Amino acid sequence: MRKKLLLCMAVVGMCAQMFTGCVARINEEKLPDPKAEQNQEIEDDKETGEVTPDAEGVTGTETGTGADEQPTKKPAKEWSTPEDYRVVEDYVVPESIADSEYDMETALTCVPLKEAFAPYFKFGLAMSGYNAQTFAVESPEMQELLKYHCNTTTATNLMKPSYMLSQAACQEAAANGVEDPVLDFTVTDKMLAFCQANNIGVRGHTLVWHAQTPDWFFREGYLDDGAYVDAETMKYRLESYIRQMLTFCQDNYPGVVYCWDVVNECVEPGDLENASGWRCRTRGESPEGTNQWYDILGYEYVELAFTYARKYAADGVALVYNDYNSWDSTKMFYIYELMEYLKERGLVDALGMQCNLSVDTDLLDVYNSVVKYAELGLELQVTELNIVAKDTSPESYEKQAACYKKFIQYMLSLDDSNGGNANITVVNIFSLMDGYLLYDSDSNNYCVFDCNIQPKPNYYSMLEALIKVGKHNPEIIK
């Protein structure tokens, strides 16, 4: 049973000044300001790139004081409260979490984010985990959160090559004359089964990356000390890997994986590679610090990966190029060049903007980059959204909430369903909760649910962005 929410709505029109040619600076006064009193100069901040865990599960972009120092004091009211956004009146604790130490009533009775953003784009929270035991699908609490709030998700780590490839099985196959790499789909299978049962689409992440791809994958016999293979052998392995990934998902769970990050983070202006025209990354994680894909195949590995993915992808499955710092003006130029090249050849459908940000990132740069990328006429996906707070104090969470509100307002104002020119199809936050419950240690503080699985101020501020921009689902937010 849903009850009407007594909210005063301010409908704010927003003009999205679109760009042609090079990016021009926009007038911030024409854009919605989430806090009129907050007029400080926001400085640029470099994204850190892909979030990767260490042995304890603590991720590379973690900051803050840790889950055990999560504040218990309620922040000063800046945004709305749980009572304002409760939509389930007769709450019954799901049987799966009946014995949980977490009280999830607020999280499972507030406005479902997937429904709130339905007029615009898919909304998701990524499934954390650095092994089978810590994967979100193993947690009843995380399952309930995903089912209630998400119509899309992605695995933060466990669909990457280093988790999919089995070295022992690859070596055994090679010893018997079989060059195809051997993949282990055990964890992926469990994830896809859960998502299929609960109508949650999956972003496949990621097929080709210079990181989290084992060095032995590039060596003869899949041996740690084998010589690096030649180009033809590597092409065969690349095609086989992509074919196996796509056909497993499509044959066993048709329609669940609706897009793939085919290549991740291959543009690096600092590498000064010129032949490609878009500055292909030459550095990577080989023992010599180089990108093995580039070492063996040259910059052509990017086009090859998309060519193979297009060959095996089912109709309607979008092929995505995904990168960090996509809003940086220098990097944006080269990403745009790559996207144009791939689009001309019919190989790409979407650009994935990771959006690993902080509260000090100038969000106007992000806005401007979306305006520019929209000129490509491709889908734009926000794939790994995280706006990191300085700490977990109430004041920091308030500033974080203001940034999330502004970010969402910008995306909504630019989206073509609201009169803009950008075809934004996905917004995905890159974890489920601060202080992720299956990690021994996790100091991430960018999520919309805190370490007690309670909505944070940024949860409410995102919903208020919907109201401020003026288009929202009237059945959900009244």
For residues 397 and 415, is the Cβ–Cβ distance under 8 A? no
Distance CA 102, CA 428 (A): 24
* CA-wise closest residue to 291 among 256, 261, 267: 267
**Phi, psi (deg, nearest 5) at residue 183:** -110, 150
* Beta carbons within 8 Å of 36's beta carbon, 6+ residues apart: none
DSSP 8-class letter at 137: G
Q: What is the DSSP letter of 313?
A: P
The one catalytic residue among 239, 384, 398, 464: 384
List of E strands, 194-313: 201-209, 257-264
Q: Look at residue 120 and give its three-state secondary structure.
A: coil
Catalytic pick from 265, 273, 379, 464? 265
Residue 273 falls in the annotated catalytic set: no
141 as an active site residue: the answer is no
Cis preceding-peptide flag for 361 (omega within 30 of 0) = no
In degrees, rounded to 5, the angle at the alpha carbon of residue 254 between the alpha carbons of residues 251 and 256 is 130
The DSSP annotation for 141-206 comes to: HHHHHHHHH-SEEEBSSTTSHHHHB-HHHHHHHHHTT--S--B--HHHHHHHHHHHHTT-EEEEEE
Active site residues: 265, 384
